A and B are shown apart, each in its own frame.
Chain A
Amino acid sequence: ETGVTQTPRHLVMGMTNKKSLKCEQHLGHNAMYWYKQSAKKPLELMFVYNFKEQTENNSVPSRFSPECPNSSHLFLHLHTLQPEDSALYLCASSQYLGTSGNTIYFGEGSWLTVV
């Protein structure tokens, strides 16, 4: 049990589909993140939210649309994806953003395959 729960764990979608990834954290944290994990590449930071406000969009294509309705929930809406978007998408949280020494806690990830 990580304190950060992601659903679904596996998702297969066509390039014309619209789907969403969901993340919920039970740690009372104020910052939430989406990372993309692809084989043989560093973890890529996609989006950062702090107290529900987006503070970072790391040049992510608009076919990925995040939503953070409150500090405990984070969504990643997906539409018209490409096969190269297939990857493990990791949600994470931390108590604060921008505080020295912050430790990030990860969910188990959502495996996305775009066909």
Chain B
Amino acid sequence: AQSVSQHNHHVILSEAASLELGCNYSYGGTVNLFWYVQYPGQHLQLLLKYFSGDPLVKGIKGFEAEFIKSKFSFNLRKPSVQWSDTAEYFCAVNAGTGGFKTIFGAGTRLFVKA
């Protein structure tokens, strides 16, 4: 069955620390990859997405993610986090083998200490 794994359920960082959130998926073949973010009290919104081309994808608010096909990974990174990055982050995969349904990981709660 299709699955998306996010390895860290909770992450606590101080401001200016670097961030890397792991995401692995279990499909072969063509995949489209997403990171969504849910700020406290707000709706889920798209942070960045990978469809094809350059495997290093830049998103909003200084986030980036790298697609490594050989590792089935799409890790999210930010060089220097801010207090306002406190949120829950969801990795998602949309794959042809899954009928192009979008499947989400369990999410990672990030808390940034001011």
Interface of A toward B, CB cutoff 8 Å: 2, 4, 35, 40-43, 45, 48, 56, 90, 97-109
Contact = CB atoms under 8 A, between A and B. Distances in A.
User: Chain B contact residues (Cβ within 8 angstroms of A): what range?
Assistant: 20 to 34
B99 A98 contact: yes
Nearest to A58: B101
Contacts, number: 54
B100 A108 contact: no
A42 B104 contact: yes
Given A40-B9, A42-B106, A100-B94, A56 B101 contact: yes
B49 A101 contact: yes
Nearest to A104: B102
B45 A2 contact: yes
A2 B43 contact: yes
Interface in B73-114: 90, 92, 94, 96, 99-107
Contacts of A100: 30, 32, 51, 94, 96, 100
Nearest to B46: A103
A16 B104 CA distance: 32
A106 B45 contact: yes
Nearest to B94: A102
Contact of B104 (A43, A97, A98, A99): A43
A106 B102 CA distance: 12
B44 A103 contact: no
Nearest to B6: A42
A42 B49 contact: no
B100 A98 contact: yes
Contacts of B51: 100-101
B70 interface: no
